[in-house]
Structure 1
Amino acid sequence: MIASSLARKLGAFVKLSATELSVLDSLNKRKRIFVAGRDLVHQGQSDQAAYILASGWACSYKLLRDGERQIVDFQIPGDFLGLRSVLLHTSDHNVEPVTDIEVTEVLASDLLDAFVKTPRLAMAILWATSRDEAMVVEHLVDIGRCSAGARMAHFLLELGTRLSLVGLGSREGYACPLTQYHLADALGLSAVHVNRVLRKLRDKGMVTFREGLVTFDDYDALATFAEFDPTYLDQIGPILV
């Protein structure tokens, strides 16, 4: 599951060879389970390990001095967790499981060995991290310049596009474990405002988020409303053979 999710994601950039797939699979040595709500990466820690998310959802966040938090992003199967703590030696954020999750722990030495054996795999992972950075830029623009409705619409569409890459979503919708409090902390809104915005989008016949399921009632209308251009996600670009 770990290898297939990550391989499917990286396969959007590089057509992975049998050798590269084997190296990816070799990273699947140390499986671990973390329960929802208990951080697995802490801001300021210097452990030289990252994780590959196999199943479940997690979120990256920063805590403010007043106890409030800002969720920076959500991670889904196939994503790395805490990769910057390996590359920068110290984590600059926390990672919390949104649901119970299964991960593979990857040491810095594991990654370096994989990169030496398969340079194209290193290039694909660089693409994945660059894509994650592009998403953070979009989130900053959304929070700073977009209305609450457009912000929510863009966020739900982005999640759907990301999930479709690993076989967990489509233009019809996807399963989503996030609560209104998660959405509030990610989008800079209150939980009450989140509820109001979701109701308006549903009443307009564009999207319904109910009982853990996001349903795109009119995908094209929602994308137009959000001015959603998935180019920054680079999921339809040329594949390196």
Structure 2
Amino acid sequence: MTDILQSPLTRKLQVFVTLSEDELGVLKRLHLRRRSFTAGRDLVHQGQSDQAAYILAAGWVCSYKLQPDGTRQIVDFQIPGDFLGLRSVLLRTSDHSFEPVTDIQAAEVFADDILDSFEKTPRLAAAILWAASRDEAMVVEHLVGIGRRAADVRIAHFLLELGARLKLVGMGDQTGYDCPLTQYHLADALGLSAVHVNRILRKLRESGLVTFRNDRVTFDNYDGLLELSGFDPGYLDQTGPLLK
């Protein structure tokens, strides 16, 4: 069980529930079909039906919707421990696309696997529902950010949220984290132009708050960034197991 205990998904789910040996065994079986995918080639296309879901084990992915004029809105970024396309596989048709930002490793999971796991281990099902609810809460925050937050607050909030998510799976802390995203990714996610993103990142760096350079986000003044952004991680629900 050592390998599954080190899985990013296990680390995340155990924030909600202390998993039993049987539940860990089911989770291990969900990880059996490991696949590799290359950066820049979609795993799932918008409108695709009868596709699998995936558990991201390594690498970064963006989920996005393509507009008729060819522009895209990035809905979210997935990091190790996240599900890809869980909602879409249960609804049978994907309403958005998934593109690896880096080369990735992911476990392929079919609808029958998920439903069987839910039937056998209802507490594990509850934990996965918690993870899905948490993802929905993040989308709500992103909507608020795009609609109501100033550009500097929007970027600061987003970088802090990523940091909190990565800390949960052992990939970041209050000093910062490795991040492969480009300014174009941030622009497509935050409703800004890449030029505006560049300007704001420079402003935040010159203010001594955060530096995003060479694929690394460094929190130069974590408390100051919190104050600027108004970031409250309560919606991420990372305080400890609800179920023992």
TM-score, normalised to structure 1, is 0.98
Structure 2 residue aligned with 1:24: 27
- Would you say how many aligned residue pairs link Structure 1 and Structure 2? 241
Contact 2:44 2:51 in 1 (8 A): no
Contact 1:2–1:103 (CA under 8 A) maintained in structure 2: no
2:11 corresponds to which of 1, 8, 13: 8
- The 3-state SS of whatever aligns with 1:155 is helix
CA–CA separation in structure 2 for the residues paired with 1:107 and 1:23: 14
The Cα offsets for residues 54-90 of structure 1, whole Å up to 9 and x where unpaired, read as 0000000000111100000000000000111111111
Residue 116 of structure 1 corresponds to 119
Percent of aligned pairs with the same residue? 73
C-alpha RMSD of matched pairs (Å): 1.1
Q: SS state of the match for residue 132, structure 1?
A: helix
Q: Secondary structure at the match of 1:43?
A: coil
Structure 2, unaligned runs of 5 or more: none
Q: Provide the rounded CA distance (Å) in 1 between the counterparts of 2:54 and 2:4.
A: 10
Residue 84 of structure 2 corresponds to residue 98 of structure 1: no
Q: 2:208: which partner in 1? A: 205
Among 214, 217, 230, the residue aligned to 1:214:
217
Normalising by structure 2, we get a TM-score of: 0.97
Q: Hey, which bits of structure 1, 4+ residues long, moved more than 4 A?
A: none
The match for 1:43 is 46
Aligned pair 1:146/2:162, yes or no? no
Select the residue among 68, 71, 75 that pairs with 2:74: 71
Write the distance in 1 (CA, Å) between the matches of 2:240 and 2:24.
Answer: 21
1:144/1:58 CA distance change after superposition, 3 Å: same
2:210 is equivalent to residue 171 of structure 1: no
d(CA) in 2 for partners of 1:134, 1:156 = 16
- In the TM superposition, residue 48 of structure 1 has moved relative to its aligned partner by 4.2
Q: Could you tell me which residue of structure 2 aligns to residue 59 of structure 1?
A: 62
Equivalent-residue separation in structure 2 for 1:121 and 1:29 (angstroms):
17
Find the counterpart in structure 2 of residue 162 from structure 1.
165
Distance 1:54 1:2 in 2: 11
Deviation at 1:237, TM superposition (A): 4.8
